[in-house]
Structure 1
C-alpha cells in the first residue's frame, strides 16, 4: 500500500508546483485586432527555437493592481517567468498591497524572487527609476492605471510610450476615466478575447470619449506542466480516485463541476438551479443514468459571504445536499479536472473575458457546458467540444437539458472531450503563445522606441 500513497503524494506535489494551475494562465495566442485579426500572418511565420530570445537583457517592469490568487496577478506572474526564461531583467510592483503580513502575498513574492524576479515597493524613487530605465512596462488590468499619476507624477509622459496595457476586465464599473485616461497614449493594449476587445473599443468611445490604442488579442494557452498531468493516464486515475474519495462519490457517478471564485457574476446560483431542474427531469422521465453530482470549486468557508449563504440555503431547501459538494478555493484545480466528467462555465452578463479554466478542462478531455457570451464563444465549438446556453435566467432550462443530455449520452460526452483536447493541441498550447506574444512584444518595443525618439 505504501507505493500508491507515495505516488499520490508525489503527483500532488507536482500539481502544487504548477504556478497558476487554479486560474487563467497567460499562455496566449496573440493577434492584432486591427492588423492580424484572422491570425494568418502570425501563423505564417516560421517557428523559432526561442521566439522570445530577443528579450534577453531587456528590462521589463510589471505593474499589478494586486498580488493574489485571482486571475490577473497569476497571468502577470506567468509572463514574468516566461520573460525571465528568455533572459530578460524583470521587476515586479504591486500597487494595492496590504500593510499586514499576508500568507498568499508572501508566498507568491517568494516564488517570484526564487525565479529571479525583483520585487519593489509600488511607491518611491526605486519605482520611478525602474519605470524610466525599463524597455517595456506592462500595466496589468484597467485598475493598475491608478498607479501612474500618484507615483510617476511629472514622469508619466516619458513612460507612456513604452507601456503595454494588459486588460482582463469585462465589467462596466471598470470604465472610469480615473483608471484609463492615459489609455489612448500607451504603445498598445492587450486583451484576452476578440469579444472583449470589441467591447472595450466601443465602450471607451461611447462612455468615456477616448480612443483605444493599437490592440492585440491574447488567447490564453495551457502550460507544459498542466498538459503533462492531463496526458498522464496514471496521474489522472490516481487524482480522480483521491478527489472522488474525498467528496464521497463513487467512480461510476457523474460529476458536473463549476470552477470559479464564488460570486454572482460566475453564475453558481443559476448553475445550481439548472442542476436541480436536471434532477427533476431525470426523475420525471424515469431516465436510467448514474447518480449525478454538482461540484462547486471556489468556495470560501472563512468569508461566509451572503451569496454563498444563498447557495447553501438553496441546496438545503431543495433537499439536494447529497448531490452538491462545495470545495474551498484552491490554486490546484488539476486534481478536480481529473476527477470530474463535465465542466460548467456559467459566467454571466458578458461572460468571461477568456476563461482559462475552459481550456484546462478541454486538456483533460472534458466537454464544456458554457454560456454563449464573452471569450467562451471563441473557445467552445457549440455541438462539437461542448454545448452553449444563454446567460441569465433564460439559460437555466437549456443548461438543465444539456446536463441531462450529456448524462444520458456517454459517447457524445466522450467524443466532445476528445474534440476539445484536439482543439487545445491545435490552438491553446504554450508554443502558440510563445510565438505570437513574441510578435506583439517586438512590435510594442519597436513602437515605443519610435515614440520615445519623436
Structure 2
C-alpha cells in the first residue's frame, strides 16, 4: 500500500475527531464501572443503553409521538448513576422527554460518599439539557413525587426508595408509577424491593422473555401478581445509524482501529463488546475461539487469520476473572490472536472494525442487548446465545447463528465461528439481513412510538381519563 497523501491523512484525522466527539455522547457503551456478574441489567450491556439527544420535535421525518408529554412533570428515580445499562437508558428517556418540553426531575438513590468523576459528568450532562437533579431523600424529591404526573422507577432495586422517602405517602404515588425493569437475576426477587409492584400503574420490560420470567417468578417465589406489563424493545439512535450507513466513515474507523490493534485489513475479527464479567461469557468465547482455530487447522481450511477482540476490559482493576482470561490466552499461546480493549465510551469504531459480533451472555442471557442491534446496523452477523432478548433480535440462520449458553455452547460456537470464517457470502448476507431487520423494527422512532404508547396508558390510569 502506498503512503497516503497529506490531504487524505488530514481528511481522515478530521473525520475521526468529529466522529469521536459525536459518539462520546450518542453511543456511550454500557460498560459496568465495577466488575459484576449480572447478565442483564448491567449490560451495554447491553445490555443495553446509549445516551443520545433527539431533535426537538421530530423523530426522523415523523412528528414525535411523545409530543403529548409537553409540560408534563416527570420524576425519574434511578438506583445509581453510572455507565451501566439501566441508568443510561433512563437518561435517554429523560432527553427524549425534554426534547418535547416535558419537565424532568432526576434523583439517584445510591450515591458514592465522595463525588466520582463519572457521576459528576453525567449529572452535568443532564443539567445542561434542562433536567433538574435532586437528592433522593430531600424534601424536593418528596414534593416532586406528589406533584408529578408520572414517576418512573428504574430497575427493581429502586423499589426501596418508596418506603424510605415517601413513607405514609406511598399509596398516593403508586397509581402514577411506571416501573421500568431490566433485571433477570434471581437475587433481585426480594419482597423488600418489589412488594409495591402489584399496585403501580404498570411495568415496562425490555423483552418478552424477561417479562414472562418476571411474571412467573413473582407468582411462584413471592406470591404476588405483576401489574399490567408492557414490552418495549429498544432502538438505535439516529446518530449511530448515520455512521453505520456512511461507508467513508466506516472505512476510516476500520483502518484506524485495526492499525491500533495491529491486524491487517483482510484478517477476520470476532468481537465480544460487553463489560468483562463471567455473566457475559468472555471466558467461554475464548475457549470457542481457540477450538475454532484447532478445527481450522485439523481440516486444513484456507481462511484469513482469525482474531478475537474483547472490548470492555478494565486494565486498572485487573479482576480475578480478567486475569483468568489473560492467563488462558498465555497458556494457549494465542497472544497474537487475542486483543483486550479497555472499556470505552465509543463503540462505533469497533463495530466498524470487526467482522462478527459475539453476544455470549450466559445463564438467562440479556434482557435485550442493545449492542446486538447496533452491530446489526453495521451489517454485522451475530453469534449469540439462545437465551433472553437475543432470541427476539437475532433470527437464527438468517441474521446470525445461535448457540446454547454454558459449556454446552462452547463447541457449537466454535463451529459457528468456522462457518462464518469459511463462507464469506453467508457472512455478508447475514449482515445485510440484520441491517434490514434493524430498519424494520429497531430504530429510534420505533422505540419512541412504543414508549409513547405505554406512557399514554399509564397517564390514563393515573388521571382516570379515557383519552388525550
TM value normalised by structure 2: 0.91
Pairing 1:334-413 to 2, within 5 Å after superposition: 334-413=348-427
Match of 1:234 among 248, 257, 274: 248
Aligned to 1:210: 224
Aligned to 1:6: 14
Structure 1: runs of 5 or more not aligned = 28-46
**Cα pair 1:25 1:221 within 8 Å, conserved:** no
Aligned to 1:17: 25
Q: CA RMSD in A?
A: 1.3
Deviation at 1:19, TM superposition (A): 5.1
Aligned to 1:251: 265
Aligned to 2:460: 446
- Distance in 2, Cα, partners of 1:55 & 1:426: 26
- Distance in 2, Cα, partners of 1:238 & 1:68: 30
SS in 1 for 2:336: helix
Deviation at 1:180, TM superposition (A): 0.5
- Distance in 2, Cα, partners of 1:301 & 1:343: 22
Query: Matched residue pairs, number?
Result: 432
Deviation at 1:219, TM superposition (A): 0.5
TM value normalised by structure 1: 0.93
1:276-321 CA distance string (max 9 Å, x none): 1001011111110000000001111111111111111111111111
Match of 2:95 among 81, 101, 115: 81
SS in 1 for 2:275: coil
Deviation at 1:10, TM superposition (A): 1.7
Deviation at 1:6, TM superposition (A): 2.1
Deviation at 1:17, TM superposition (A): 3.0
Pairing 1:7-406 to 2, within 5 Å after superposition: 7-18=15-26, 20-22=28-30, 23=44, 24-25=48-49, 49-406=63-420
1:83-136 CA distance string (max 9 Å, x none): 000110000001001021211111111111111100110112111001011100
- Distance in 1, Cα, partners of 2:267 & 2:50: 33
Deviation at 1:4, TM superposition (A): 2.2
- Distance in 2, Cα, partners of 1:73 & 1:378: 23
SS in 2 for 1:196: helix
1:357-396 CA distance string (max 9 Å, x none): 0000000000000000000000000000000000010000
SS in 2 for 1:220: coil
- Distance in 2, Cα, partners of 1:116 & 1:17: 16
- Distance in 1, Cα, partners of 2:275 & 2:322: 11
- Distance in 2, Cα, partners of 1:185 & 1:70: 28
**Greater mean alpha carbon deviation, residues 191-200 or residues 5-14:** 5-14
**Cα pair 2:27 2:240 within 8 Å, conserved:** no
- Distance in 2, Cα, partners of 1:435 & 1:367: 27
- Distance in 1, Cα, partners of 2:75 & 2:457: 17
- Distance in 2, Cα, partners of 1:17 & 1:146: 30
- Distance in 2, Cα, partners of 1:309 & 1:336: 23
1:215-256 CA distance string (max 9 Å, x none): 000111100010011011111111111111111111110000
- Distance in 2, Cα, partners of 1:126 & 1:373: 42
Structure 1 stretches of 4+ moved >6 Å: none
Matched, 1:437 2:445: no
**Cα pair 2:29 2:83 within 8 Å, conserved:** no
- Distance in 1, Cα, partners of 2:339 & 2:89: 28
- Distance in 2, Cα, partners of 1:205 & 1:144: 20
**Cα pair 2:29 2:50 within 8 Å, conserved:** no
